[in-house]
């Protein structure tokens, strides 16, 4: 299929890798022409690492790179395109204009998807004539390493658009979460926010340290979540499944609920404690190096999950 990346910064270039890896042609465009060579340079450095981890499906990096085509004009990027992925700045007035332009220039059959993490689609597609083909496909960056993608319709998105976008994403090796309607924070930021809110509160209230919370996830809760998710986890955690779990253990969570109604300002006094503890674990000038470590660990984890799904079962 033919795809276009509109906005080729941090998020757009990552999508380009995912689409091209799946065999799609990828036209890259950016309002800033200097962004395109930077994107191609970046992609050229990432592909050999993916190949080394077995995450290019046996393809040569050069073969994937050859599917990328920088374009000077937006109309050129959109010619005969099937899927457009928009990654422009997170400002509603920018997205409104961009979606007007995309709808005017892209062939009628193309799906127009935004990568926005912060804006509900209704806020920027309402007045677009082709709003039925517009929706959000929000990745966790980088999508070529993290499969989950939120597929979020606006009130006017056609069900067929949702189905086509989800199928396209599955074909790229992504794992779409197909939302039934839009909601602030989509799904993953709502779940992450609920957990982070409690994590900040535990530190602010002097119950636990930052590292203790991290241990609780990385050596505890997140192990099972990383291959089952929270619902399957509790479904397997009581003899009679999820209904039995809720009957047995809801009381524990009900008792906690009243004490989680108070917001903690993450940027307030608690941040001094959080940052001091993190800086003790990781000097601030080592953040870049640690990000590269994270990406290598993430690649190795994905390779492990594939092997385990084959050897032990999905």
Q: Taking CB under 8 A as the criterion, which residues in 132-171 touch its own copies?
A: 140, 146-148, 150
Q: Which is nearer to its own copies, 23 or 185 (CB)?
A: 185
Smallest separation, CB 310 to its own copies (Å): 11
Q: Max Cα separation, the chain?
A: 61
The least CB distance from residue 303 to its own copies, in Å, is 9
As measured in angstroms, the least distance from the Cβ of 74 to its own copies is: 28
Residue closest to 228 by CA, chosen among 305, 171, 300, 173: 305
Q: Residues binding its own copies: what is the number (CB under 8 A)? A: 107
Inter-residue contact 110 to 83 (CB < 8 Å): yes
Give residues 241-280 in contact with its own copies (rule: CB under 8 A). 241-243, 246-247, 250, 252-257, 259-261, 263, 265-267, 271, 274-275, 278-279
Which C-beta is closer to its own copies: that of 163 or that of 221? 221
CA distances, 118 to each of 70, 92, 115, 139 (Å)? 27, 10, 9, 12
Instruction: Check if the beta carbon of residue 42 is closer than 8 Å to that of residue 15.
Output: no
The CB-of-309 to its own copies minimum distance in angstroms stands at: 9
Residues 192-231 touching its own copies, rule: CB under 8 A, are: 192-199, 202, 205-231
Please pick, from the candidates 63, 72, 92, 236, the single residue that binds its own copies as defined by CB under 8 A: 236
**Shortest separation between residue 76's beta carbon and its own copies, angstroms:** 32
Site string for its own copies, 95-124 (x = CB under 8 A): ----------------------xx------
Candidates 17-25, 101-109, 122-130, 189-197; binding stretch for its own copies (CB under 8 A): 189-197
**Smaller CB distance to its own copies: residue 45 or 257?**
257
Write out the two tokens for 1: 């299929």
Instruction: Of 106, 138, 90, 157, give the one whose Cα is nearest residue 4.
Output: 106
- Is residue 175 close enough to count as binding its own copies by CB under 8 A? yes
Cβ–Cβ < 8 Å for 227, 297: no
CA distance to 97, 112, 212, 240, per residue, from 94 (Å): 5, 15, 42, 51
Q: Which residues within the stretch 27-66 sit at the binding site for its own copies (CB under 8 A)? A: none
Which part of the chain contacts its own copies (CB under 8 A), choosing from 18-26, 71-79, 157-165, 236-244? 236-244
User: Cβ 205 to its own copies, closest distance in Å?
Assistant: 8
| Least gap, CB of 105 to its own copies (angstroms) | 31
Give the whole-angstrom CA distance, residue 65 versus residue 46.
10
Count of residues in the chain: 314
Q: Which is nearer to its own copies, 76 or 235 (CB)?
A: 235
Please answer whether residues 50 and 78 qualify as being in contact, where contact means their C-beta atoms are separated by less than 8 angstroms.
Answer: no
For 202, 274, 288, the CA distances from 208, given in Å and listed in that order, are 6, 11, 27
Residue 52, both tokens: 């080394």
Dist CA 177 CA 142 (whole Å)? 16
Does residue 179 interact with its own copies by CB under 8 A?
Answer: yes
């Amino acid at each position: 299929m033919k795809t276009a990346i509109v906005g080729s910064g941090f998020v757009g270039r990552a999508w380009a890798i995912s689409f091209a890896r799946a065999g799609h042609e990828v036209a890259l465009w950016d309002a800033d022409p200097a962004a395109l060579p930077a994107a191609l340079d970046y992609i050229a450095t990432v592909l050999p690492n993916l190949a080394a981890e077995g995450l290019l499906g046996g393809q040569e990096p050069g073969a994937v790179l050859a599917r990328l085509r920088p374009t000077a004009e937006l109309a050129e990027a959109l010619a005969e395109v099937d899927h457009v992925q928009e990654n422009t700045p997170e400002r509603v007035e920018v997205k409104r204009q961009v979606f007007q332009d995309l709808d005017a220039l892209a062939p009628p059959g193309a799906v127009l998807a935004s990568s926005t993490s912060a804006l509900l689609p209704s806020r920027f597609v309402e007045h677009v004539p082709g709003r039925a083909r517009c929706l959000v496909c929000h990745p966790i960056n980088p999508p070529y390493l993290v499969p989950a993608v939120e597929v979020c319709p606006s009130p006017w998105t056609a069900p067929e658009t949702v189905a086509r976008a989800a199928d396209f994403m599955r074909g790229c090796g992504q794992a779409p979460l197909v939302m039934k309607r839009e909601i602030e924070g989509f799904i993953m930021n709502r779940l992450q926010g609920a957990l982070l809110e409690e994590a900040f509160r535990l530190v602010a209230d002097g119950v636990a340290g930052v590292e203790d919370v991290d241990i609780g996830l990385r050596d505890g809760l997140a192990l099972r979540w990383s291959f089952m998710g929270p619902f399957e986890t509790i479904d397997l955690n009581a003899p009679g499944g999820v209904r039995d779990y809720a009957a047995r253990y809801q009381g524990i969570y009900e008792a906690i609920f009243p004490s989680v109604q108070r917001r903690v300002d993450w940027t307030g006094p608690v941040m001094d404690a959080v940052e001091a503890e993190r800086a003790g674990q990781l000097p601030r000038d080592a953040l870049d190096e640690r990000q590269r470590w994270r990406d290598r660990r993430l690649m190795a984890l994905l390779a492990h999950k594939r092997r385990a799904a084959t050897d032990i079962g999905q």
